[in-house]
Structure 1
């Protein structure tokens, strides 16, 4: 089983998801936990939730991916 943790953060609607063998098994937006609309903070609560929902520990995750190339905006300057 290949486990991937996907993270979207530092823009609006931060979120986390778990993909197991190419199938999304859990996803959550941080605002559902913090009650801050369009929360852009790092999705700590969402990550904790998707791991727990998937019965995984962080050490079980094979890959962690971020939703975009982090320095793309700087490269455009």
Structure 2
């Protein structure tokens, strides 16, 4: 089993903007001893976040970036080793 959790707390005090989001992925793999069959279930973006945003300001450039995140995905896999 694998589990990955990332929490982001973005804050731009210049324009009083904050953005909090978390990305969670998990995976579970099972194979019985001496069996050619295996099973795997994988889930991505369990918190179902839609985007992450950041911005920056300087004397010459103003930048606002919004990155869209893939929706929650759950995959189930079955494998057989010949």
**TM more than 0.5:** no
Where relative contact order (Cα < 8 A, 6+ residues apart) is larger, the structure is 1
1 or 2, which has the higher helix percentage?
Answer: 1
Greater Rg, structure 1 or structure 2? 2
- Report the TM-score, using the length of structure 1 for normalisation: 0.30
- Report the TM-score, using the length of structure 2 for normalisation: 0.28
